[in-house]
Amino acid sequence: MSTPADDARPTTTYEQAREELAEVVRRLEAGGLTLEESLGLWERGEQLAELCQHWLDRARERLAAAAPADEQR
């Protein structure tokens, strides 16, 4: 059962979220951050990863719905 929040479209596009996530990873890998900065970036990365997964799940649903009935078996 989905909730209204599950059905809501995120305001950030997949491409925007993916690019921001890549930047978060670059910054974490570069190091030189305080523990608090690193934790904040990690949390943001988790949010962005969930957002990207949301977009990918919706795309899969749309593709499955668009596939001819004989291909959905």
Q: What's the distance, CA 17 to chain centroid? A: 6
Position 72 scores a pLDDT of: 58
pLDDT tens digits in sequence order for the chain, 73 residues long: 444 445 556 678 999 999 999 999 999 999 999 999 999 999 999 999 999 999 999 999 999 999 887 665 5
How far apart, in Å, are the Cα atoms of 2 and each of 7, 20, 61, 66? 7, 27, 14, 21
Residue ranges per domain, the chain?
12-68
Instruction: Please provide the CATH number assigned to the domain covering 12-68.
Output: 1.10.287
Task: Tell me the pTM.
Answer: 0.74
Q: Say how many C-beta atoms besides its own lie within 10 A of residue 32's C-beta.
A: 7
**8 vs 51: CA distance, rounded Å:** 12
